[in-house]
Amino acid sequence: MLLSRVLPPLQVWKTEAMKQSSTPRVCRDNSFTSKQPQKARLRIVLFLLVIPLLLALSLLFGPSGIGLPDMNSPAGGAILSLRYSRLLMGMMTGAALSASGVVFQALLRNPLAEPYVLGVSGGAGLGATISILAGSSVILSLSLPVVAFVSAVLTLMVVYGIARQGSSGQPSVYSLILSGVIVSSICSSIIMFMVSTASVEGLHNVIWWMLGSLQPVSTGQQLLSLGLIVSALFGIWLLSPRLNALALGREMAHYQGVHADLIIVSGLLCATLLAATAVSLSGMIGFVGLIVPHVMRALFGPDNRRLVPLSALGGGTFLVLCDAVARTLMAPVEIPVGVVTALAGGPFFLIILQRRMKQAWIA
């Protein structure tokens, strides 16, 4: 069923055959149905085939060298399992950030929207910083996603509240983004202040976390985050047909029988949950949430029913690959993965976006 939603409608040509026998249907002009959806289908199939290969490839990289570790030695097994957990961390974080970006862009109808711009990441980061500095018990690692989510939601509410001032009813996208940027910089200033006054031990933890890294967290936190991310992704996937309707604006979506405000609020909550969980897992990793949705849209079109799962897959894989590069390139020193995402991913994605300008966001 999932596949049937991800792939473009088969019916278009399936019904060609059925048409002969069935009651007179609307006549279709074949010349228009052929090329485009087939190409898109092919592209999606290729993408789905390449993803596992890339993920497997990432397992071959690590500070201990390129290639599979020696499986006969106990160290080899440990290395491989470490690479597995980093793969899982990367998949979770990348998928959460990209899918969250897709939703923010769709809801705000703005190509600049992403978790950072709306202050969601900043708020989650502030919450996480506070709890990291406040203590370092085991409970902490479990409470981290929750604290991050709560503070991200609070931030979003503040942003929304500020943006709403002076506007009758719904705030405009511009005021949302503007107040998001303001609140976001306030959050990062507070983080800076706390870092500058932190104890040495706390400082180390916070700095590492802020730079963004896919160092595996505790199993408990991983499971909790996985649960949160999967359920939020599922929620977004359920919303995705309605997100398409919202692309024409809240008013038009309302006319078409979409419960627009409900969709907007639940979409914002799911996207916030995703971003906050990603931040609590691996810190502030930029670029993924903004660019991956654009690239996926350029490759596979703006239909959110496809875009949500494909972006999650693509964003996860992209982050996993970046992490493989980050931990291998200057081993044993690990480059922060956020550095690699922008440095390596930037030019690559720019080429894709330039070649498929039309399919990308033409406003």
Query: Could you say which of 33, 64, 215, 266 contacts another protein (CB under 8 A)?
Result: 33
Applying CB under 8 A, the site for another protein has a residue count of 52
Picking from 242, 240, 266, the residue whose alpha carbon sits closest to that of residue 102 is 240
**Does residue number 205 form part of the binding site for another protein (CB under 8 A)?**
no
114 binds another protein (CB under 8 A): no
How near is the Cβ of 252 to another protein at its closest, in Å?
Answer: 6
Q: How far is the CB of 304 from another protein (least distance, A)?
A: 9
Query: Of 296, 297, 311, 321, which one interacts with another protein (CB under 8 A)?
Result: 297
- Give the contact letters, 339-358, x = binds to another protein (CB under 8 A), - = no: -------------------x
Residues 6+ apart with CB under 8 A from 270: 103, 232, 235, 236, 239
What angle in degrees, to the nearest 10, is found between the helix axes of 138-164 and 219-246?
20
Phi, psi of 63, deg, nearest 5: -60, -20
Of 17, 137, 169, 199, which lies in the binding site for another protein, with binding defined by CB under 8 A? 169
* Residue 220 CB-half CA count within 13 A: 9
Q: Is 17 in the site for another protein (CB under 8 A)?
A: no
CA atoms within 13 A on the CB side of 53: 5
When asked if residue 301 is in the footprint of another protein (CB under 8 A), the reply is yes
- Residue 1 or 49: the one with the smaller Cβ distance to another protein is 1
Q: Are 331 and 267 in contact (CB under 8 A)?
A: no
Residues 6+ apart with CB under 8 A from 339: 326
| Residue 363 in the binding site for another protein (CB under 8 A) | yes
| Binding status of residue 20 toward another protein by CB under 8 A | no
The least distance separating another protein from the CB of residue 149, rounded to whole angstroms, comes to 24
